[in-house]
Amino acid sequence: MNKTGTLNKLKKDILNDKITTQFLEQIAGPVAPDIIKIYGKDSALSPEDISNKLKTKITSVRSTLNSLHYRGIACYKKVKNNQNLFEFFWEIKFKKIIELVLETEIENIKKLEEQINLQQDRDYFFCPKKCIEAPFEVAAAYDFKCPNCGKNLEMINTKTHISSLKRKKQLAHKNIEKLNNILENIEDKTSGYICE
């Protein structure tokens, strides 16, 4: 595979990653993954170009780009056109996307570890309507009824629960490995652009 081919494949790998897509939606709204997808092939696009390609309102393209810029993902440059007016062109910093997703995955692992430690040697209770999860002492204080909806609290099978948490942790570790590998090999074309 030539260099551009490899680069496009890496970008595709990023966009096929569910955690990444969710993260982009979370920080910049539902159009964000679609915009990033365009940059899998194209580069240096104006908001109008993007709006035409996606058949999405220009206002939502602009606000999404601004949210992405706020996180250092979307970078712009101003270019004077024939009428002596400034036009904006945008580029995507793929490395930044990966760095931010890596941060959230590391946070995610920390939380999972905390949950695993908490539940390791204790009975845990949960509301069937998912209002709360509580250790034995707290559940007993509530008289084993959900303080929010009044349903009887049920005991969590901690063994299955912990092994499912551990599985999630393993998946996060695998994802981190994959993303680090992409991070090492991907190059951005953002020189001359303002990213922060």
Residues that bind Zn ion (CB under 5 A): 127, 129, 131, 146, 148-149
Q: Give dist(CA 76, CA 38) in Å, integer.
A: 16
Contacts of residue 80, defined as CB under 8 A and 6 or more positions apart, other chains included, come to: 86, 87
Rounded least distance, CB 168 to Zn ion, Å? 24
Q: Report yes or no: 43 and 91 within 8 Å, Cβ to Cβ.
A: yes
Q: Which two tokens stand for residue 151?
A: 């349903």
Q: By C-beta, is 23 or 125 nearer to Zn ion?
A: 125
Rounded least distance, CB 135 to Zn ion, Å? 16
Q: By C-beta, is 33 or 147 nearer to Zn ion?
A: 147
Q: By C-beta, is 148 or 181 nearer to Zn ion?
A: 148
35 burial via Cβ count (<10 Å: 0-12, 13-18, 19+): buried
Q: By C-beta, is 79 or 149 nearer to Zn ion?
A: 149
Instruction: Write the single-letter amino acid at 48.
Output: E
Taking each helix axis from N to C end, the angle separating 18-28 and 3-16, rounded to the nearest 10 degrees, works out to: 70
Rounded least distance, CB 133 to Zn ion, Å? 10
Rounded least distance, CB 158 to Zn ion, Å? 20
Q: By C-beta, is 129 or 166 nearer to Zn ion?
A: 129
- State whether the Cα torsion 37-41-47-51 is positive or negative: negative
Rounded least distance, CB 25 to Zn ion, Å? 28
> How many distinct helices (H) and strands (E) make up the chain?
8, 5
